[in-house]
Structure 1
Amino acid sequence: MFSNRIELFSILGFRVSVDLSWIILAVLITWSLATGYFPRIIDGVSPVAAWWLGAAGAVGLFASIILHEFAHSWIARQFDMPIRGITLFIFGGVAEMEDEPPSARAEFFMAIAGPLMSYALALLFYGLSGLLPVEMLAALLTYLATINTMLATFNLIPAFPLDGGRVFRAALWWKTNDYAKATRIAASLGRFFGMVLIMSGVLSLVAGNPIAGIWQGLIGFFIIAVANSSEFQMTLKTGFEDKTVGQIMVRDPVSIPADTPLEDVIEDYFYRRHHRVFPVVRGSTLLGCIRVEDVGRIAREEWAQKTAGDVLPTAGKIGTVTPETPVMEALKRMRELETSRLMVAKNGELRGMLTLRDIMSYLTIRQELNASGRQHRSA
């Protein structure tokens, strides 16, 4: 999800990173505070002081979002839910979960922890602002109290993937004991809220407020995208909950003997069979794989002398799993390796190939059969 992020530090074992998109948000916040908010509420504030206050406000928001996400992450740890880290990006922050919550109870407490932390920070900043005699510091703390209150309240809207949507899903999950149904309903609410934000953004544009309109529209599209992604992940989880790689993989895939000349590899495999990756074997032993781009790095005049086995040391690595590996674990490995296929081997021998296309085809057929069965029963 975040390909251009910078790791900053760790807090109690949680890695904190910032996506480069956050810089856009930080600049916008600093500019709006320095040119609009603080000059409006502090009489006679100098431009330099306003810009310093604007930067301090952006840093305070930065820290507030980290603490909001840290609360999610810390509670997740109590329920043995692995968290890769906390990342700030243009739409705020996210605690990067490696898997969905194991229970409705875990979902509820993890989701509610963030808004509670933000409300606690708001009370702290409000209290401190009343104790400080310095007007500029009091104004800064008042801003941080207000923004934390807004952050918590917005996140409590029952629209998935917002925290309120997760709390709502947890309640449905607990009541119905049906994770899939709860996710579908929560995601639908998320999509509805996203559409409301997009329409609100359009109205803001028409009313002559382009910045607010663009911002509302972007957030709306983001919420819809994440809601769709979460529902898709639920479909994967329920569809492959008890499935292993061996049940879905292509058995006895086409493989290339290691001593095959590259000329024959190109003519008889890449051109004729139209695949971009092939396993390379010696007998039944899996040695690795060869890809189109690996052959492309070899000078054409060397194709007659080199074999498939000669290319393997320079070949890009491709993941390997066993037939007993759960499909969801295989999907996770694909994401980690940024590949769409895995070789399947056991005791060093090639057993099959698993591709993302195979997984999606299986899921599509299963959904069609389930839909046909429901229609038949209702009839």
Structure 2
Amino acid sequence: MSERAPSSPQPSGPAPRPPGTIRLGQIAGADVLVNASWFLIAALISVLVAPRVEQVEPGLGVWKYGAGFAFAVILYASVLLHEASHAYVARRFGHRVSSITLHFLGGMTAIDGEARTAKQEFWIAVVGPLTSLAVGGAAVAAWFVTPEGLLQVGVEGLAGANLLIGVLNLVPALPLDGGRVLKASVWQLTGNMHRGTSIAGWSGRLLAVVVLGWPFYQQALLGTPPLVVDYVLAAVLAAFLWTGATAAILNARIRSRLPSLVARRLARRTVTVPEDTPLGQAVATAQSHRAGSIVTVDAGGHPVGIVSERALLAVPADRRPWMPTSSVARTLGPGMTLPVDLAGEELVAAIARRPAEEYLLVAPDGTLHGVLSTVDVDRAFNDRGN
């Protein structure tokens, strides 16, 4: 399965490694990390496989657990191949892949940003399960020519596990890869990416409920009574599915509001005054022009600061005639001048790069258009959600 990370400015240095992980190297430009929880599942696999190893190769003693651990390593190598296929196709479509993490539930590929088209979403998602099915199919073919014994047992387990991983990941429910395939299909049919995410997310919630109830109808379907471990495993998997699906639904709701955020529409009318203009005079000029912001300029007429609304309101009226406007203006630093045509996710990303209260908006020809206040952006975003 793959996880999409939100678009964000990338630091110049290497990304910090998440706590509780070990870095093994890089594949397809992405850091390969192993979460500490992997060792827990590797130990569990060793214990579960040991009886089968003992059956095939009696007399190994404690080394049967070593053989089980080796199988866990080989199994997760195929999981890594599954995730690497996601990373490779994502990079082919121009996405940055920050990491591939192996954990006790399998693997996760962190892909920055959203796919730009339904076709991209489909291929990035479907290539993982197809890779697992291919590995499983190759292992099945190899089983027929593998000598009997421990090696054949390993090939047998590899075939079964990869075929199972491939099939389960094609279930059309987020956060599974099949959920992204469903999302891409709905997106292609309706032209609405967020609707596709929402439908696939609700499918994921439904699957979570089904998984949670599995122990209660396990005996009726398979004829085997559920054990305590069956209840625990069902609860863990259901929680994973429900959490991932819910996060996808909420993300879709948030992102659906972003297109309404257009810098040009939100711009406040602005007046420019020299830096040494008395604050009272600058306020009077803004009021006469019905402007909602004030920009200070240097002797050459170039913008150098934006009057902070918060700082202005903190100055008593009787002091304003004696204070220069520059005393309550925030100096224009890098990232505080934005193109007026920014909108949606690009606008949010630009604000995230350089958090501030106000930004100067300039037209394509470089002329001053107005001032954008983050208060207005927040208000527009929240109004769109109501």
What TM-score do you get using the length of structure 2 for normalisation?
0.68
Q: How much has 1:94 moved relative to structure 2? A: 1.3
Q: Indicate the residue corresponding to 1:309 in structure 2.
A: none
1:114 equivalenced with 2:131 (yes/no): no
- Where do residues 87-126 of structure 1 align in structure 2 (5 Å cutoff)? 87-126=101-140
Measure, in 2, the Cα distance between the counterparts of 1:364 and 1:124: 52
Deviation at 1:65, TM superposition (A): 1.0
**In structure 2, what is the equivalent of residue 198 of structure 1?**
212
> What do the CA deviations read for 1:86-108 (whole angstroms, capped 9, x no partner)?
11123211111111211111111
Q: How far 1:18 moved relative to its partner?
A: 1.8
Partner of 1:213: 231
Structure 1 unpaired stretches of 5+: 258-267, 269-280, 289-318, 369-379
Distance in 2 between the 1:221 and 1:188 partners?
14
The correspondence for 2:144, drawn from 130, 147, 150, is 130
Does the alignment pair 1:284 with 2:329? yes
Higher CA-based Rg = 2
* 1:38 aligned residue: 53
Contact 1:156/1:163 (<8 A) preserved: yes
**8 A Cα contact 1:161 1:187, kept in partner:** yes
- CA-CA distance at 1:44 after TM superposition: 2.1
User: Which amino acid in 2 is paired with 1:55?
Assistant: F
Per-residue deviation, 1:321? 5.5
Deviations 1:2-49 (A, max 9, x none): 942332200232221122232322222222222x4433x525252333
Distance in 2 (CA, whole Å) between partners of 1:15 and 1:352 is 38
State the partner residue of 1:234: 252
The corresponding residue for 2:200 is 186
1:133-144 counterparts in 2 under 5 A? 133=147, 135-144=149-158
Opposite residue 229 of structure 1, the aligned amino acid is A
Q: SS where residue 93 of structure 1 aligns? A: strand
- Which one of the candidate residues 86, 103, 112 is aligned to 1:72? 86
Unaligned 5+ residue runs, structure 2? 6-16, 269-292, 294-306, 315-325, 362-370
Please provide the CA RMSD for this pair. 3.7
Distance 1:170 1:195, change over 3 A: same
The residue identity in structure 2 corresponding to 1:220 is A
Distance in 2, matches of 1:227 and 1:93, equals: 17
**Alpha-carbon displacement from aligned partner over 1:270-294 (angstroms, at most 9, x marks no partner):** xxxxxxxxxxx96524499xxxxxx
How much has 1:354 moved relative to structure 2?
4.1
CA separation of 1:287 and 1:241: change in aligned 2, threshold 3 A: closer
Distance in structure 1 (CA, Å) of the matches to 2:174 and 2:352: 23
More RCO (CA 8 Å, sep 6+): 2
The yes-or-no answer on 1:328 pairing with 2:345 is yes
Correspondence for 1:29 among 41, 45, 50 = 45
Give the residue type in structure 2 aligned to 1:219.
L
Q: Which stretch has the larger CA shift, 169-178 or 182-191?
A: 169-178
Partners of 1:329 and 1:198 in 2: how far apart? 40
Aligned to 1:310: none
Contact 1:321 1:330 survives alignment (8 Å): no
Shift of 1:173: 1.5
Aligned residue identity for 2:238: G
Q: Counterpart in 1 of 2:70? A: 56
Please give the alpha-carbon distance, in whole angstroms, between the structure 1 residues aligned to 2:98 and 2:164.
Answer: 27
Asked whether the 8 Å contact 1:204–1:212 carries over to 2, the reply is no
Whole-Å separation in 1 of the counterparts to 2:18 and 2:81: 23
* C-alpha distance in structure 2 between counterparts of 1:331 and 1:203, whole Å: 47
Query: After the TM superposition, which residues 288-303 of structure 1 pair with which residues of structure 2 at under 5 Å, given as runs?
Result: none
The answer to whether the Cα contact below 8 Å between 2:98 and 2:112 also exists between their aligned partners in 1 is yes
Aligned partner letter, 2:127: A
Q: Is the 8 A contact 1:323 1:344 kept in 2?
A: no
Q: Deviations over 1:100-131 (max 9, x none)?
A: 21111111111110111111111222233332
Which of 11, 14, 25 is 2:27 aligned to? 11
Cα distance in 2, alignment partners of residues 331 and 180 from structure 1: 17
CA-CA distance at 1:221 after TM superposition? 1.3
1:335 Cα deviation from its structure 2 partner: 8.4
Matches of 1:48 and 1:189, distance apart in 2: 44
Residue aligned with 2:259, SS: coil
Cα offsets for 1:335-364 (capped at 9, x unmatched)? 899xxx6554459xxx77748x974x6444
Q: Distance in 2 between matches of 1:320 and 1:210?
A: 56
Which amino acid letter does the alignment assign opposite residue 216 of structure 1?
Answer: A
Q: Using the alignment, how far apart are the partners of 1:78 and 1:255 within structure 2?
A: 47
Superposed CA offset, 1:156-210 (max 9, x none): 1111221112112212221222222222211111110011111225667995512
SS of 2:188's equivalent?
helix
In 1, the alpha carbon distance for the partners of 2:357 and 2:42 equals 44
Structure-2 separation of matches of 1:364 and 1:202: 43
Secondary structure of residue in 2 paired with 1:143: helix
